[in-house]
Structure 1
Amino acid sequence: MSGALNDDVLGLIVFKADLQDPASKLTSWNEDDNDPCSWTGVTCSPRTNRVTELNLDGFSLSGKIGRGLLQLQSLQKLSLSKNNFSGSLNPNLSRLESLWTVDLSENNLSDSIPDDFFRQCRSLRTISLANNAFSGEIPPGVGSCSTLAELNISSNRLSGRLPSGLWSLYGLRSLDLSGNSLSGDIPMGISRLYNLRAIDLGGNRLSGGLPDDIGGCSLLKSLDLSENLLAGKLPETLQKLSMCSYLSLGSNSFSGEVPTWIGEMKSLETLNLSSNGFSGQVPDSIGNLQVVKRLDFSRNNFTGSLPESIGICKSLLEVDFSQNSLTGDLPTWIFELGLQSISISGNKMSGSIQIPITTDQALRILDLSSNGFSGGIPVDMGNIHGLQFLNLSWNSLSGSIPASVGELKSLQVLDLNGNRLNGSIPPEIGEAVSLNELNLHKNSLTGGIPTQIGNCSSLTSLILSQNNLTGPIPSTLANLTNLQTIDLSRNKLTGTLPKQLSNLLHLLSFNISHNLFSGDLPAGNFFDTIPPSSISDNPGLCGSLVNRSCPAVLPKPIVLNPNSSSPNPSSNSAFSPGKLRHKKIILSISTLIAIGAAALIMLGVFTITVLNLRVRAAATSQSAAALVLSDGYYSHSPGTEADSGKLVMFSGNDPDFSAGAHAILNKDCELGRGGFGTVYKTILRGGRPVAIKKLTVSSLVKSQEDFEREVKKLGKVRHPNLVTLEGYYWTPSLQLLIYEFVSGGNLYRHLHESSASNSLSWRERFDIILGIARSLAHLHRLNIIHYNLKSSNILIDGSRDAKVGDYGLANLLPMLDRYVLSSKVQSALGYMAPEFACRTVKITEKCDVYGFGVLVLEIITGRRPVEYMEDDVVVLCDVVRGALEEGRVEECVDGRLGGKFPVEEAVPVVKLGLICTSQVPSNRPDMAEVANILQLIRCPLNGPEEELS
């Protein structure tokens, strides 16, 4: 084997030695091979057999990028993206004389970027360090790497000013520094980059104005400066960018009028000026942009009417002029250009909505909400067959809802709330089979809720509140199994509630307040925990929730003719006045005799019941008294076990409990109550406190043999993040579980009842999350499912570490499907996995994973899993998921932290929590995987993850 080949094999084997390869992607890398050319991810020169390319993208590798790669003297392309590499960047990589491309994006590399990496580069043309954790400033020596054509350091933690050396990279064609914290002005000199095609500085904190020489980059095709602090007016030199097709200046503080010369940038396909301070009218010269596809002028201060000249832009697909102060009528081009998306919400436009008969079918989104449009909803709206989103809310529209809405087979959102619509809801609404959301709130609609609405099987939100609807709730509503929100409040609806509504397993909010409903509520699922405000002001409703008993349903009385021997009820003699009077007297006496007999029977039953209760209470008190005698607890004795009970301590020590002031069932020593029982504190003779749980499910607990087998199994469980079960006490009518005492209270109090000054820090919250994950992983390895995970069952010790309690108690019950799935055990509805509601699905460890995910979000945000508002129910998972989709995850973190948390940890932890709360159990990770992921998130710089204890 030649020395040259040996260098490549040796270098790659040394490189592999620093890695962890959980997916075994590098098993083909064998140090005994003559060359590495057949190895996975390796490409060699067919002429020299030297390694020219190493591509390990997405191999799930972790560890450090070691010195072994420096042996690959013929390496031209190094691509290690989408892995978990950590540590710092080796500056000597750039010294490889043949190296053209380095792609280390989407890893966990950190520290500052070494200046030498750029100063000693030999031949590098493409560098991508995007989506890592690099910090500090961009090295001033970046301008020394004169061969660079592409530089991407986006989505890191870089700060400081832009180095002027950037404008010395004369061969640069693409520069992406977006998603950092760079600040200060954009320095002059950018015009020297005459080869520049694309520059993205978005998502930083750059300030000042655009440099006047920006127009010197005559080959520039894409310019993105959005989401900065840039201000002032647009420099005239921008119009020289005649080849620019993408210009995004959104979310800055630019002001003044949009200059008419904007129409000279005739190559523009996307023009985004949103969320600035632009004022004046939208310039007519926009019509000169013949190839423009997307115009976004939203959230500015534009006035006047929309220019008709935009109708010349035949390539236009999307327009957004929302949140301005535009006036006038809808221009004719709105429905004539074949647009895919139109948003003009939040303006002052007026007039009627006119849709030409020959409407192009391309329109998908139409949002004209919050304006002053009047007249009716056009019947021809039904011709826009591809429409998916229609929002005409908060206008002054009148008339009826046209039946043609049923022709919109692709419509997913129909929002007409806040208008003056009248008439009935057309039954054709049931033909819009793709509807997800229907909002007709605050109109003047009459008639009933059409039964055909039950055909909209995808419906998740139905809001018909504040109308004049009458009649009952159609039973077909129970067919809509995806419904999450129903608001029928403030109408004139009558009748009883269909019992089938309890089958809506995804229901989160059901508001029928201020109507004329009667009868009892449906039983089960959501209706077991419905807020009273959601059913208020319905005089005919009855049941415990409204403190009004429902009338008993009595059987019809049987009328007999005492003077007739014939069973024929048609005999005339039976209805003579004299005989009828005589019959009434006889029935009254019979009734009195029956009532008297029933009273005697009831008195006897009551007397026997009282005597039995006294006997049981005496036995129970004797059993409990054995636990608080001055001589200590009762020890196991075969002769007396049946009378006094059985006490077992797993440690083998004598059961020497103190007989001081702390009697174990003393209410003054009560620590809390849960689904399985009440917990008290008591003291051992040596002064050590313990917690004792008195089970309140005695009537459901298994036999003594089964009970002891399950409890002893739990008594063997040991983990630093689990509350230790130290013993138990058994009688047929009283069961006690003896636990270690944890002094710091439960997690619920720390999250929801503590002041900002005493709030958990970010590090403490992360440690608690990791501790819970490790404890659940340990339980699952022992085939123990917790079943009842919630913040009140997580205790915090003196070191503010988590200790999970109440694990495995559901196994003490013989009928898991009847009791564990009830709201008594799963008292915090927000933690329940969706499959709990389905009796045909097997409950697995993935239910614990779901509850853990909710706990993660609760710990990070400081908010409860479900919050009941006056007119709404807020589900934490949905709020956080929505914030993630909108890029606002940081806003969800508990405000009591005062912004003192690492974003690079918070965001991945939130994402992990949401993954754990996936609706599909198979999409949730195992708890062992979760614990490993958390360790990687917290310690990206360490080597192998520490082993789970």
Structure 2
Amino acid sequence: MGLLQLVFFSLVSLMASLQRCMGSNDVSVLQLNDDVLGLIVFKSDLHDPWSHLDSWDEDDNSPCSWKFIQCNPVSGRVSEVSLDDLGLSGKIGRGLEKLQSLKVLSLSQNNFTGNISPELTLTASLERLNLSHNSLSGRIPISLANMSSVRFLDLSENSFSGPVPDNLFENCSSLRYLSLAGNSLEGPIPSTLPRCTSLSNLNLSHNHFSGNPDFAMGFWSLNRLRTLDLSHNELSGSVPQGVSAIHNLKELQLQRNRFSGPLPADIGLCPHLKRLDFSDNGFIGELPESLQRLDSLTSFSLANNMLTGDFPQWMVSMSSLEYIDLSGNGLTGTLPSSMGDLKSLSYLSLSGNKLAGNIPISLVKCTKLSLIQLRGNAFNGSIPEGLFDLGLEEVDFSRNELMGSIPPGTGRLFESLRTLDLSINKFTGNIPSEMGLLSNLRYLNLSWNNLQSSFPPELGYFQNLTVLDLRNTALYGSIPGDICDSGSLGILQLDGNSLTGPIPEEMGNCSSLYLLSLSHNQLSGSIPKSISRIGKLKILKLEYNALSGEIPRELGKLENLLAVNISYNRLIGRLPVGGIFQNLDQSALQGNLGICSPLLKGPCKMNVPKPLVLDPYAYPNQMDGQNRRNESSESIKFRHRRFLSVSSIVAISAAALIAIGVIVISLLNVSARRRLAFVDHALESMCSSSSRSGNLATGKLILFDSRASSQDWISNPESLLNKATEIGVGVFGTVYKVSLGLERRLTVAIKKLATSNIIQYAEDFDREVRILGKARHPNLVALKGYYWTPHLQLLVMDYAPNGSLQSKLHARPPSTPPLSWANRFKILLGTAKGLAHLHHSFRPPIIHYNIKPSNILLDENCNPMISDYGLARLLTKIDKHVISNRFQSALGYVAPELACQSLRVNEKCDIYGFGVLILELVTGRRPVEYGEDNVVILSDHVRVLLEQGNVLECVDSSMSEYLEEEVLPVLKLALVCTSQIPSSRPSMSEVVQILQLIKTPAPQRMEVF
């Protein structure tokens, strides 16, 4: 308690004593002082950056002249405090308790924080309390207000959490408006809520309420309700009949829950219903016929359920409908020919059903229509004539069987249309030249049709276009140079056409482009250097063309480039230095004339002039210049031939000597290897234990902590692997599940290493593997031993029975429950501890280089164990580029400095991979996701949401519960770990400390970020 509050309560006690002494004549003065002191104490807890409360002066006898204060004209007491949207921050203090005549308290749209004290008790006369749109947290205290007098209670858009006290509404007969929306409240809806019989507006949306509300005995008894919003919760069960009891109901919203069963049959008996939204649930069956009685219904959404049956023909009689969304169901049949009777219709979405037949021509009578989505049905025929004369903003007819030509459109469409998707149909004919007049068009997708059209030059007129997808449309001709003149294009996909000519140099003007795909065409000429100016470019696909020449070195400067495919062209020369090019795999390069890469077989052609060979007699020195000029031409020719003969003899002799040397050295090497093999076998016969450190392990199983007989593999290890079970293929080789020992009681995992670039000397291999064998930690897969021959290298490791994190996160069967937040956090913390052990317990540190879910194995209790750590030590040190190239199997996990072929990599690249792993665990999404029209980089996506204040939208929706106070700092930690600058990333020991701090109960920890 602050000093001012102590003074306040002391004064209150003193005034109470004075009041008893002075009698009733001066009571009003003292009561007015109560209001002044109460408001001054309340103000003392606030931060007022714009000085809105400067008029509140503690020396005044009455607050009635203060701004934002209203008083009762009879009693002179404060009756209303309205401080909405003043930019105030701080906590709600107990000074408000002294306002004994307060009827209205409104503090909405500020930044009040902290818990509401359970000791705060507002006056019994309070009728209206509005604390919405702040940052209040903690539980809702039962003592907040005397519900017997409150008529309006709005606590929406805060951070309240936990269950709502069940007895909060025991005496709420006066309550007419209640909103708890936009918090993190959980548990069941209080059973006492139906006692609020005067409620007309109830909003509990966007929380985590669960269970099955007692509709029949509960909500359906609130017959004065006009608005009921339970959307965006976790409510489940069926919705029985009884809704018709709420005669005055105008809005009923149950979307984004887990309701199931059929729709209530009496839903159409609410005559005043204007908005009905049951979308994103599990409702089944057909639409109740009673719906056709809703003459006042304007908004109707049942999207993303499992409804079946024919599209109702009676829907056209609901003439007030403005919004219809029945997408994502299993509706069949055809649309009524009288759809045009819906004169008020502006939004129609029927995508993702099984509807067929023609698009009704009467739709052209729906003059207010702005959005029409019929995606993913079986509509056929042509687009109705006149439909493109309407002021449509979005048209999506994709994935149907429509045919005919694309209508050109008229003036209204040119000004209004923003999205046009006609992809995957059977359209023919030219692309209308009028499309260039669609000045507000942002998304255009005509892909997978048979237009057989040249590239309309008018398409360059687009001013706001961000996505242009013309894949597989039978386009021919050249790409117009002005295609990017608007500067807003982000995705350009022209694959699978018959485009010819060069890639225009003006392509470099596409400053906003991040996906450029021109594959499977007949483009020729060189790749323009101007593409290097597209700094945002992430994906470049040029495969299967006739491009020639060298790849411009300038493309190596594209730091954001994540994927490139230039295969099957006529390209030659070296790859650009830097960027993604040094890490491209064989599939992205193959099929060219002569690209220089160790991954490709064949010639390496350099586009450079041939060296100039000088005749040594062509430029004689000045001393004998005169004599040589006097020689005859025959003499010069003779000398020249003699010079060439001597040169040839010298070259042949040198080559012969080199060949003899190679043969001699090879024979010596064979002899030496035979002697070494003899020594090896002699040492093997002398060593009684297979685990002795001096054993060279030539064809022998070495177990560091043997519980199985090494004799299992001495004779024929390959035959044992043939009986084993293959459980995975990784960067370094194939993994098997094997049972060892006489009774096969010891189950281990065996990694059969890919022999390419693996250390080929037994002593070196033994030394490196034994270092890895010492890296024992509860969160590391223990390395138990190895088997080595020049042609076969095997590693023996612990077997993890619960599989990998990859399978739990991205390949989970529907019957398997998702990972809980507690287990996800356990996996993060354990993985961090394992990496910290590798980084800080060894010198030099053991770097993993390839942190991703497939390399995180789980035991029976979801404890993580890191596999494949340190295997880069087993690679030959000569070809350092091989180290980096081996870790490109998963796009999105690799640290920028590793992708750019920097040789100064350190453990910071593991920190980057761990940051990506955090994002995967929290969001349930992959690091890079490719849609039909865009590519999502997970770290960028989360960073944008965090900046917008909506980061919780990216949390994996399969998690039923999670702690916001843990998720938020964990996401922030991920973004720090994935910093593009290695020095900005924390060490792994710091990461462990931060995670442990986050896990500490909130009262015991300070703010992490």
TM-score, scaled to structure 2: 0.65
Q: 1:242 aligns with which of 295, 302, 310?
A: 295
Would you say 1:461 and 2:461 are equivalent positions?
no
Contact 2:263 2:287 in 1 (8 A): yes
Aligned length: 798
Q: 1:558 aligns with which of 614, 620, 625?
A: 614
Partner of 1:544: 598
Would you say 1:256 and 2:314 are equivalent positions?
no
In the alignment, the residues of structure 2 paired with residue 490 and residue 768 of structure 1 have an alpha-carbon distance, to the nearest angstrom, of 43
- 1:576 is displaced (CA, Å) by 3.1
1:346-382: CA deviation from partner (whole Å, max 9, x where unpaired): 1111111130464532111110011111112122221
Would you say 1:579 and 2:636 are equivalent positions?
yes
In the alignment, the residues of structure 1 paired with residue 362 and residue 563 of structure 2 have an alpha-carbon distance, to the nearest angstrom, of 47
Q: How does 1:835-914 map to 2 (within 5 A)?
A: 853-859=915-921, 877=939, 902=962, 912=972
Q: 1:744 aligns with which of 763, 773, 778?
A: 778
In the alignment, the residues of structure 2 paired with residue 7 and residue 455 of structure 1 have an alpha-carbon distance, to the nearest angstrom, of 70
| Runs of 5+ consecutive residues of structure 1 not aligned to the other structure | 602-659, 675-736, 778-785, 805-818, 894-898
Contact 1:424 1:448 in 2 (8 A): yes
Partner of 2:450: 396
Would you say 1:166 and 2:222 are equivalent positions?
no
Q: How does 1:80-95 map to 2 (within 5 A)?
A: 81-83=133-135, 85-87=137-139, 89-93=140-144, 95=146
Partner of 1:68: 120
Partner of 2:539: 485
- 1:435 is displaced (CA, Å) by 1.4
SS at match of 1:342: strand
1:248-279: CA deviation from partner (whole Å, max 9, x where unpaired): 11112233333343233333221111112222
SS at match of 2:499: coil
In structure 2, what residue type is equivalent to 1:76?
Answer: R
Would you say 1:766 and 2:825 are equivalent positions?
yes
Between 283-292 and 450-459, the greater mean CA deviation after superposition: 283-292
- 1:395 is displaced (CA, Å) by 1.2
Q: 2:202 aligns with which of 151, 173, 185?
A: 151
In the alignment, the residues of structure 2 paired with residue 925 and residue 244 of structure 1 have an alpha-carbon distance, to the nearest angstrom, of 55
- 1:68 is displaced (CA, Å) by 1.5
Partner of 2:188: 137
Q: How does 1:624-643 map to 2 (within 5 A)?
A: none
SS at match of 2:414: coil
In structure 1, what residue type is equivalent to 2:338?
Answer: S
Partner of 1:636: none
Would you say 1:756 and 2:802 are equivalent positions?
yes
In the alignment, the residues of structure 1 paired with residue 52 and residue 773 of structure 2 have an alpha-carbon distance, to the nearest angstrom, of 48
In the alignment, the residues of structure 2 paired with residue 438 and residue 308 of structure 1 have an alpha-carbon distance, to the nearest angstrom, of 33
Q: 1:380 aligns with which of 417, 434, 440?
A: 434
Change (3 A) 1:580 1:10: farther
Partner of 1:516: 570
Would you say 1:197 and 2:250 are equivalent positions?
yes
Contact 2:779 2:833 in 1 (8 A): no
Partner of 1:451: 505
1:2-45: CA deviation from partner (whole Å, max 9, x where unpaired): 6678998999999999x999x9x9999x9x9999979x999674
- 1:475 is displaced (CA, Å) by 1.6
In the alignment, the residues of structure 2 paired with residue 65 and residue 462 of structure 1 have an alpha-carbon distance, to the nearest angstrom, of 57
SS at match of 2:916: helix
Partner of 2:687: none
Partner of 1:643: none
Change (3 A) 1:420 1:597: closer
SS at match of 1:453: helix
1:34-90: CA deviation from partner (whole Å, max 9, x where unpaired): 99979x999674641325415265636334652313567546314155425224x43
Partner of 2:726: none
Partner of 2:736: none
Would you say 1:316 and 2:369 are equivalent positions?
yes
Would you say 1:266 and 2:319 are equivalent positions?
yes
Superposition RMSD on alpha carbons, in Å? 6.0
Partner of 2:77: 48
In the alignment, the residues of structure 1 paired with residue 190 and residue 798 of structure 2 have an alpha-carbon distance, to the nearest angstrom, of 45
Contact 2:296 2:320 in 1 (8 A): yes
Change (3 A) 1:588 1:26: farther
Between 592-601 and 374-383, the greater mean CA deviation after superposition: 592-601
Partner of 2:743: none
Partner of 1:415: 469
Q: How does 1:708-857 map to 2 (within 5 A)?
A: 742-746=776-780, 754-756=800-802, 762=820, 763-767=822-826, 769=828, 830=892, 853-857=915-919
Q: 1:208 aligns with which of 258, 261, 272?
A: 261
In the alignment, the residues of structure 1 paired with residue 615 and residue 105 of structure 2 have an alpha-carbon distance, to the nearest angstrom, of 100
In the alignment, the residues of structure 1 paired with residue 846 and residue 487 of structure 2 have an alpha-carbon distance, to the nearest angstrom, of 38
In the alignment, the residues of structure 2 paired with residue 768 and residue 10 of structure 1 have an alpha-carbon distance, to the nearest angstrom, of 53
Change (3 A) 1:795 1:112: closer
SS at match of 1:349: strand
Partner of 1:304: 357
Change (3 A) 1:300 1:803: closer
- 1:415 is displaced (CA, Å) by 0.8
SS at match of 2:488: coil
In the alignment, the residues of structure 2 paired with residue 522 and residue 582 of structure 1 have an alpha-carbon distance, to the nearest angstrom, of 46
In the alignment, the residues of structure 2 paired with residue 747 and residue 862 of structure 1 have an alpha-carbon distance, to the nearest angstrom, of 24
Partner of 2:791: none
Partner of 2:94: none
1:705-725: CA deviation from partner (whole Å, max 9, x where unpaired): xxxxxxxxxxxxxxxxxxxxx
Between 230-239 and 876-885, the greater mean CA deviation after superposition: 876-885
Contact 1:161 1:185 in 2 (8 A): no
Contact 1:752 1:862 in 2 (8 A): no
In the alignment, the residues of structure 2 paired with residue 669 and residue 41 of structure 1 have an alpha-carbon distance, to the nearest angstrom, of 82
In the alignment, the residues of structure 1 paired with residue 480 and residue 416 of structure 2 have an alpha-carbon distance, to the nearest angstrom, of 26
- 1:579 is displaced (CA, Å) by 0.8
- 1:246 is displaced (CA, Å) by 1.4
In structure 2, what residue type is equivalent to 1:525?
Answer: G
Q: Percent identity, please.
A: 36
In the alignment, the residues of structure 1 paired with residue 422 and residue 799 of structure 2 have an alpha-carbon distance, to the nearest angstrom, of 44
Between 251-260 and 265-274, the greater mean CA deviation after superposition: 251-260
1:656-699: CA deviation from partner (whole Å, max 9, x where unpaired): xxxx966999998999xx9xxxxxxxxxxxxxxxxxxxxxxxxx
| Runs of 5+ consecutive residues of structure 2 not aligned to the other structure | 1-11, 17-30, 79-98, 659-690, 706-730, 732-770, 784-796, 809-818, 837-844, 867-879
Contact 2:137 2:161 in 1 (8 A): no
SS at match of 2:137: strand
Between 92-101 and 467-476, the greater mean CA deviation after superposition: 92-101
Change (3 A) 1:75 1:446: same
Between 332-341 and 541-550, the greater mean CA deviation after superposition: 541-550
- 1:172 is displaced (CA, Å) by 1.9
Change (3 A) 1:10 1:905: same
1:633-652: CA deviation from partner (whole Å, max 9, x where unpaired): xxxxxxxxxxxxxxxxxxxx
1:608-655: CA deviation from partner (whole Å, max 9, x where unpaired): xxxxxxxxxxxxxxxxxxxxxxxxxxxxxxxxxxxxxxxxxxxxxxxx
In the alignment, the residues of structure 1 paired with residue 475 and residue 466 of structure 2 have an alpha-carbon distance, to the nearest angstrom, of 21
Would you say 1:124 and 2:175 are equivalent positions?
yes
- 1:104 is displaced (CA, Å) by 3.0
- 1:330 is displaced (CA, Å) by 1.0
In the alignment, the residues of structure 2 paired with residue 925 and residue 130 of structure 1 have an alpha-carbon distance, to the nearest angstrom, of 38
Contact 1:239 1:265 in 2 (8 A): yes
- 1:743 is displaced (CA, Å) by 1.6
Change (3 A) 1:768 1:452: same
SS at match of 1:522: coil
SS at match of 1:95: coil
In the alignment, the residues of structure 1 paired with residue 486 and residue 60 of structure 2 have an alpha-carbon distance, to the nearest angstrom, of 67
In structure 2, what residue type is equivalent to 1:855?
Answer: L
SS at match of 1:382: helix
- 1:529 is displaced (CA, Å) by 1.3
In the alignment, the residues of structure 1 paired with residue 426 and residue 600 of structure 2 have an alpha-carbon distance, to the nearest angstrom, of 42
Partner of 1:688: none
In structure 1, what residue type is equivalent to 2:346?
Answer: K
Contact 2:212 2:235 in 1 (8 A): yes
